[in-house]
Amino acid sequence: MDTKRTTFQNRWLPYVLLAPQLAITLIFFIWPAGQAVKSSFEREDPFGFSTVFVGFTHYARLMQDPAYLDSFVRTAVFAVAVTVVSMVLGLLFAVAVDRLMRSARLYTTLLVWPYAVAPVVAGVLWFFLFNSTTGIIPYYLSFFGVRWDHTLNGTHAMILIIIAAAWKQISYNFLFFLAGLQSVPNTLMEAAAIDGSGPVKRFFDISLPLLSPTTFFLFIVNVNYTMFDTFSIIDATTEGGPAQSTNILVYKVYQDGYLGLNLGSSSAQSVLLMLIVIVLTVVQFRFVERRVQY
């Protein structure tokens, strides 16, 4: 991509124009990130009077801490589940809407609504729906012999946050898949129809392969979302419980640092998270930009 080169009369003007954005990035991102890196190598006394440089101690401890390693596994399960559920459903809805002619816009609007709902609200919404004493879903589940209680049952809690997180993300995936499907040239589908391929076969032989760049992009974005952007959903529903069963990495950073006041370990965890984001972003840019398609 070649952007147009603009020439400024005043050589300071471009810097002035950039300054607000740079200031925000510096103050709210670069500086705190730097602080986190710094404090991940330090230990602070309980009252905050002194700090000692401890090198990689926090990192080493994390690598041996079963609670942290468990959280890693849980995060992976959570991320994969949310990504798969939300992408499959998003694609399903996109295929359904793509077949419509006149009502497509109405359905698109309705399907995008959940994305406008604040994460906390989404969390609370599902929390109430699944509430074991007053919720409607546990009531119906009881007919199937399921005693739903996400405050005691870790698996139930995990399912709850997966549903809550995926529900919001379906809208996003739906939009991208719909755009992807609509950009598949119609004549390709017609050619395939003449070539003797039915609607289902056409979808798997033509649409799906042509959607591969979209799919890959969404996969990375969704993993990123579930790993780092689901804090508020968890905070509003399970708060990491019961018994750590929904304590994913981002939430653990908050718990250890903000509630447990173990700033050094919390910082080390957030630095590790940052590394994961960096890796995912690099992967995304290397492959998505270069299109994985054909």
Partner 1 sequence: MASIDVESVGKIYTGGVRAVTDIRLNIADGEFIVLVGPSGCGKSTLLRMIAGLETISEGEVKIGSRVVNNVEPADRDIAMVFQNYALYPHMTVYNNLAYGLKNRGTPKSEIDARVAEAARMLEITQYLDRKPRALSGGQRQRVAMGRAIVRKPAAFLFDEPLSNLDAKLRVSMRGEIKRLQRRLGTTSIYVTHDQLEAMTLADRLVVLNGGQIEQIGAPLEVYHAPASTFVASFIGSPAMNLVKGELHGDRLAIGPAVIGLKGFAPTSGAVTVGVRAEDLRVARADEEALPFRLEYTEELGSQRLIHGAVGDQQVTAAVSPETELASEMRIAVDARRLHFFAADTGKRLPGNVPAEAKLAPAEPVV
Give contact residues for partner 1 (rule: CB under 8 A).
Answer: 185, 187-188, 190-198, 201, 205-206, 209-210, 212, 293-294
Which residue lies nearer to partner 1 by CB, 115 or 216? 216
Which residue lies nearer to partner 1 by CB, 32 or 209? 209
Torsion angles phi and psi, residue 53, rounded to 5: -75, 125
Which residue lies nearer to partner 1 by CB, 210 or 288? 210
The minimum distance between CB 216 and partner 1, in angstroms, equals 14
Which residue lies nearer to partner 1 by CB, 65 or 195? 195
**Paired residues of 51 in beta bridges:** 44
The minimum distance between CB 188 and partner 1, in angstroms, equals 5
**C-alpha–C-alpha distance, residues 202 and 206, integer Å:** 5
The minimum distance between CB 191 and partner 1, in angstroms, equals 4
User: For residue 176, which of 127, 116, 131, 111 has the smallest C-alpha distance?
Assistant: 111
Which residue lies nearer to partner 1 by CB, 195 or 289? 195
DSSP 264: H
The minimum distance between CB 189 and partner 1, in angstroms, equals 9
Which residue lies nearer to partner 1 by CB, 199 or 260? 199
SS3 for the chain is CCCCCCCCCCCCHHHHHHHHHHHHHHHHHHHHHHHHHHHCCEEECCCCCCEEECCCHHHHHHHHCHHHHHHHHHHHHHHHHHHHHHHHHHHHHHHHHHCCCCCHHHHHHHHHHHHHCCHHHHHHHHHHHCCCCCCHHHHHHHHCCCCCCCCCCHHHHHHHHHHHHHHHHHHHHHHHHHHHHHCCCHHHHHHHHHCCCCHHHHHHHHHHHHCHHHHHHHHHHHHHHHHHCCHHHHHHHCCCCCCCCCCCHHHHHHHHHHHCCCHHHHHHHHHHHHHHHHHHHHHHHHHHCCCCCC
The minimum distance between CB 253 and partner 1, in angstroms, equals 42
The minimum distance between CB 183 and partner 1, in angstroms, equals 12
The minimum distance between CB 212 and partner 1, in angstroms, equals 8
Which residue lies nearer to partner 1 by CB, 47 or 294? 294
The minimum distance between CB 228 and partner 1, in angstroms, equals 33
Which residue lies nearer to partner 1 by CB, 192 or 248? 192
Torsion angles phi and psi, residue 23, rounded to 5: -60, -45
